[in-house]
């Protein structure tokens, strides 16, 4: 039997997922001692872990080369199209927020507002729902800089503790949505390997609900 292949988002989500796997009894030694390897067996070979960047996790799962994936809701909202979202894993929690310079009255005036963000789709969807026409500028690095140097009126970004915002004299004016890690599945895989996937999902769910 082919191992169930699961793509993990490198970094913190990978760590949290491996921890979860270990709690439900899978041996993850090879992931801990991975070196530069990108495909790693877990347990007794029934699972195979693939390490990838967040958006790539979705690409691999969507194209069916990975059966499952662990990825943040932020990435799903920004890039997601066709796959199943099976489980809220409860870790990797943070929020999308709209922020601007402290004291700036964002919603006043008739001038078209400019928003800087790494997440143009999330931003567009958020303002579309409000019926508000904004100009979106995509920024790759520290988005906080944009309102400070006068490129944008506000930013839409992930906020965890809010300390970066505070340090740069920015404040949250509205929460956009909550974010956490999700277990996603390829559409065909869920049909063809239903039992294996459901078993794993159930084990993960039971472990999560203990907390």
Partner 1 sequence: MRKNIKITPEGAKDYLFKECAACKQICASVEKIFKMHEFKQVMTPGIEFYDLFTMESCGLDQETMFKSVDNKGRLLVYRPDSTLPIARLVATRLKNKILPARLYYNQSIFVNNKSLSGRSNEIMQMGIELLGATGKRADLEVLTTAVQSLESTTDDFRIELGHSDFFNSLSNQLDISDDEKEKLRLSIESKNYSALNNQLDKLEETPAVNAIRKLPALFGGEEVFDKAADLFKDTKAINALEYLKDIYHELSKLNLKHKLTIDLGLVQRNDYYNGIVFSGYVEGFGDAVISGGRYDSLLDKFNAPMGAAGFAINVNALAKIYLNDKKVDYDETPDVLVFANNGNEMEAIKFTADLREQGKKAQFCVLETIEEAKDYAEKRGIKNIEII
Q: Which residues bind partner 1 (CB under 8 A)?
A: 59, 61-65, 81-88, 182, 185-192, 194
Q: How far is the CB of 51 from partner 1 (least distance, A)?
A: 20
The region that residue 9 occupies, defined by phi over 0 for left and psi between -120 and 50 for alpha, beta otherwise, is beta
Q: How far is the CB of 186 from partner 1 (least distance, A)?
A: 5
Q: E strands, 29-187, where?
A: 39-42, 47-52, 68-72, 84-88, 94-101, 113-117, 134-138, 154-159, 170-179, 181-185
Q: How far is the CB of 4 from partner 1 (least distance, A)?
A: 13
Tokens matching residue 23? 């709690």
Task: Indicate the residue among 77 and 145 with the shorter CB distance to partner 1.
Answer: 77
Task: Indicate the residue among 31 and 73 with the shorter CB distance to partner 1.
Answer: 73
Task: Indicate the residue among 96 and 99 with the shorter CB distance to partner 1.
Answer: 96
Tokens matching residue 87? 């489980």
Total residue count of the chain as it appears in this document: 211
Task: Indicate the residue among 7 and 165 with the shorter CB distance to partner 1.
Answer: 7
Q: How far is the CB of 23 from partner 1 (least distance, A)?
A: 21
Task: Indicate the residue among 61 and 98 with the shorter CB distance to partner 1.
Answer: 61
Phi, psi of 103 (to 5 degrees): 85, -10
Task: Indicate the residue among 118 and 182 with the shorter CB distance to partner 1.
Answer: 182
Q: How far is the CB of 27 from partner 1 (least distance, A)?
A: 27
Q: E strands, the chain, where?
A: 4-9, 39-42, 47-52, 68-72, 84-88, 94-101, 113-117, 134-138, 154-159, 170-179, 181-185
Question: How many CB atoms within 10 Å of residue 94?
Answer: 16
In the numeric block, the tokens 């567009």 are attached to: 124
Q: How far is the CB of 185 from partner 1 (least distance, A)?
A: 8
């Amino acid at each position: 039997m082919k191992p169930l292949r699961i793509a993990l988002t490198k970094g913190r989500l990978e760590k949290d997922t491996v921890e979860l796997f270990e709690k439900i009894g899978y041996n993850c030694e090879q992931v801990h001692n991975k070196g530069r390897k990108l495909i790693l067996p877990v347990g007794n070979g029934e699972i195979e872990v693939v390490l990838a960047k967040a958006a790539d996790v979705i690409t691999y799962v969507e194209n069916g080369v990975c059966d499952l994936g662990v990825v943040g809701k932020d990435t799903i909202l920004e890039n997601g199209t066709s796959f199943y979202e099976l489980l809220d894993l409860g870790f990797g929690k943070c929020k999308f927020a709209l922020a601007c310079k402290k004291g700036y009255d964002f919603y006043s005036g008739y001038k078209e507002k400019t928003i800087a963000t790494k997440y143009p789709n999330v931003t567009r969807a958020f303002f579309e729902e409000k019926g508000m026409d904004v100009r979106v500028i995509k920024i790759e690095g520290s988005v906080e800089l944009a309102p400070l140097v006068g490129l944008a009126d506000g930013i839409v970004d992930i906020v965890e503790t809010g300390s970066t915002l505070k340090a740069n004299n920015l404040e949250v004016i509205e929460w956009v949505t909550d974010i956490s890690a999700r277990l996603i599945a390829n559409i065909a895989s869920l049909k063809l390997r239903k039992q294996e996937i459901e078993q794993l999902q159930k084990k993960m769910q039971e472990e999560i609900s203990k907390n």
